[in-house]
Amino acid sequence: MMGLRLAGSLLNVQRARPILRPVACYRKTSAVVYSTKAAPITPSRSRQTDDDHALNTKPKPSLLSSLKPFAELARIDKPTGTLLLYLPCTWSLTMAAHANHLPPGLLAWNVFLFGTGAFIMRGAGCTINDMWDRRLDANVSRTRTRPLASGAVTPFQALVFTGVQLSAGLAVLLQLNWYSILLGASSLSLVVIYPLMKRITYWPQLVLGLAFNWGALLGWSAMVGTCSGALNVLLPLYAGSICWTLVYDTIYAHQDKRDDVGVGIKSTALLFGDSTKTILSGFSVATLTLLAASVRQMDHAKPYLLNTEASTVTQFLTDGHPFFVAALATSAAHFFWQIQTVRLDDRADCWSKFRSNTVLGAIIWAGLLLDYAVQVAWADKAETDNM
């Protein structure tokens, strides 16, 4: 019995002993050293090389993803600014066609040309602005994700991109007459210095207005070949457009007023403060008054907006500017709505009211365009009747 118990105990001890494996054996001794540690598993060389290659290899960015920061730099995703730059051009082009009885084909060509130019030059202006402001933008919550402020585009890349944009803008400008080429080129200085103005004056919006509404002068010269003899039309048009810019860009500037104070940026939003709505109401009245004065001077023989003494509907529609008057009244209602309802401490509402000015500008253009269309149709009818 005792022998059986001893054999069972030895068997249990044998089962409980760890598996021993030799780790070293030397010829000079017959001793073998054992270890209870498991041998490390070493991956094969080929598998390790494949894993390292997978970790070090990054997917190549697509062409579209590489161009995206430059599209954002030119604000292609935000066309509101392009439209606000473009609309005063359309006013001037249409007024020139109407006053000088120019054919619709010429107007259509220049409307297309100026649309292309506005798209390109607005992008160039944004790039130049961001090059000036890249350090300031990094400290403003709304702008810190812009490509230059975030580092997605380097200053040198932005400079090269600006050269490409300006070259494309020059290609469009060269389609115009020489007077217009020189007039258009002279606006570049305003585009370049505008970003500097927000550092030294509370009126950067005024400088923006001078630059942004240059098309009010350029559109007329592109159609006629000169601005001479039309300053009584063009100066009120230009001044009225600047007043309009002061309205919408002051609303725009209210988005960043808290950050602007901290980084030292000046604006009419900070200058006007609690009086913003009252002052903008004054600029709105000035806009409409100056535009009306400009259109009224288009025809020296008939310096009025409405022919209240017209004996027929045709005479009423062709002697004055009834559709423009209707557009002016609608624009007055729009101005009243946006200024009275804008919440100047609400960034989203400021952005919404700023964008709504594209509708206001389109209303004014529609009025001018309808008056011109009626004039062209009446002239064609009169020519047919006389044949």
Buried residues in 237-258 as b, exposed as e (16+ CB within 10 A): bbbbbbbbbbbbbbbbbbbbbe
Q: Total domain count for the chain? A: 1
With respect to residue 37, please indicate whether it lies within any of the assigned structural domains: no
With respect to residue 40, please indicate whether it lies within any of the assigned structural domains: no
Range(s) of the domain holding residue 88 = 68-372
With respect to residue 29, please indicate whether it lies within any of the assigned structural domains: no
Predicted pLDDT at 140:
79
Cα atoms found within 13 Å of the Cα of residue 243, Cβ hemisphere only? 20
* pLDDT of 218 over the 50 cut: yes
Which pLDDT band, with edges at 50, 70 and 90, does 385 fall under? Answer: low
Q: Write out the two tokens for 64.
A: 């579209």
Distance CA 88, CA 360 (A): 11
Predicted pLDDT at 373:
94
Q: How far is CA 206 from CA 253, 264, 370, in A?
A: 13, 18, 31
95-128 pLDDT, tens digit each: 999 999 999 999 999 999 999 999 999 999 889 8
Asked if residues 158 and 167 have their Cβ atoms less than 8 Å apart, the reply is no
285-316 pLDDT, tens digit each: 999 999 999 999 988 767 788 888 888 888 88
What is the C-alpha R_g of the chain? 36
Proportion of the chain above pLDDT 90, given as a percent: 56
Mean per-residue pLDDT of the chain: 84
Looking at residue 338, its amino acid is Q
Predicted pLDDT at 231:
94
Predicted pLDDT at 9:
47
With respect to residue 141, please indicate whether it lies within any of the assigned structural domains: yes
Per the model's pLDDT, the better-predicted residue between 223 and 198 turns out to be 223
Predicted pLDDT at 55:
47
With respect to residue 126, please indicate whether it lies within any of the assigned structural domains: yes
Q: How far is CA 314 from CA 12, 37, 369, 373, in A?
A: 120, 107, 17, 13
Predicted pLDDT at 299:
80
CATH number at residue 151: 1.10.357.140
With respect to residue 137, please indicate whether it lies within any of the assigned structural domains: yes
With respect to residue 297, please indicate whether it lies within any of the assigned structural domains: yes
Per the model's pLDDT, the better-predicted residue between 47 and 215 turns out to be 215
161-191 pLDDT, tens digit each: 999 999 999 999 999 999 999 999 999 899 8
Predicted pLDDT at 317:
85
Which pLDDT band, with edges at 50, 70 and 90, does 90 fall under? Answer: very high
316-362 pLDDT, tens digit each: 888 889 999 999 999 999 999 999 999 999 999 999 999 999 999 99
Average pLDDT (88-100) is: 96
Q: Among 82-86, 266-270, 323-327, 381-385, which is the least confidently predicted range?
A: 381-385
* pLDDT of 53 over the 70 cut: no
* pLDDT of 386 over the 60 cut: no
Q: Is 273 left (phi over 0), alpha (psi -120 to 50) or beta?
A: left
* pLDDT of 150 over the 60 cut: yes
- For the whole model, what pTM was predicted? 0.80
With respect to residue 57, please indicate whether it lies within any of the assigned structural domains: no
